[in-house]
Structure 1
Amino acid sequence: MANPTPAAIQQYIADGLHCTHLEVDGDGQHFFATIVSSEFEGKSRIQRHQRVYQALGDRMRAEIHALSMKTLTPDEWSAQA
């Protein structure tokens, strides 16, 4: 199986989680995602990451070797800008 591309990982996340902003970078083995979603409101960092893992499903075990994430609410994202 070929390594997934950042664009593929981005699409997998977008298909399973409504995002207002989503960026994924990586080299085919290690990926970094910035994910902004209103679904993260009131959630801990662990709960946010679990929600992204849920969106990725079995791909996290089968295709994606490593994924680092920055998970933000829209308000947190706006405050950073």
Structure 2
Amino acid sequence: MVTAEQVQQYIAAGLTCDYLTVAGDGQHFEAVIVAAAFSGKNRVERHRLVYQALGDRMRAEIHALSMKTLSPEEWAQQQG
């Protein structure tokens, strides 16, 4: 079974993140990902970048991943 920490490491290895946190129970995970690569991209394009970072693990090890993907500018606005 994969851990939230492992999923976080997988994403970080394939995508440069300004902020990244992952929580989950071994099968279902929730991630908040802030990356400059997301600037100017829509939600589908952002999710594709994360799936690319995860590669085959998305099919084999991770059964469900809920993502909140933000650019650094969007993150700064949310943080006030």
Which TM-score band applies after superposition, normalised by the shorter structure? over 0.9
In 2, Cα distance between the equivalents of 1:77 and 1:42?
Answer: 14
Percent of aligned pairs with the same residue? 65
Q: Cα offset for 1:11? A: 0.1
Tell me the equivalent position of 2:40.
Answer: 42
Please list, as runs of the form range in 1=range in 2, the aligned pairs for 1:53-64 lying within 5 A after superposition: 53-64=51-62
Q: CA RMSD in A?
A: 0.3
**Structure 1 residue 29, shift from structure 2 partner:** 0.7
Question: What are the within-5 Å matches in structure 2 for residues 64-79 of structure 1?
Answer: 64-79=62-77
Normalised to the residue count of structure 1, the TM-score between the two structures is 0.97
Instruction: Please give the TM-score of this superposition, normalised by the length of structure 2.
Output: 0.98
Gap regions ≥5 residues in structure 2: none
Q: Which position in structure 2 is the counterpart of 1:5?
A: 3
Tell me which stretches of 4 or more aligned residues in structure 1 moved more than 2 Å. Answer: none
Q: Hey, what's the Cα distance between the residues in 1 that align with 2:61 and 2:33? A: 19
SS of the counterpart of 1:11?
Answer: helix
In structure 1, distance between residues paired with 2:41 and 2:78: 18
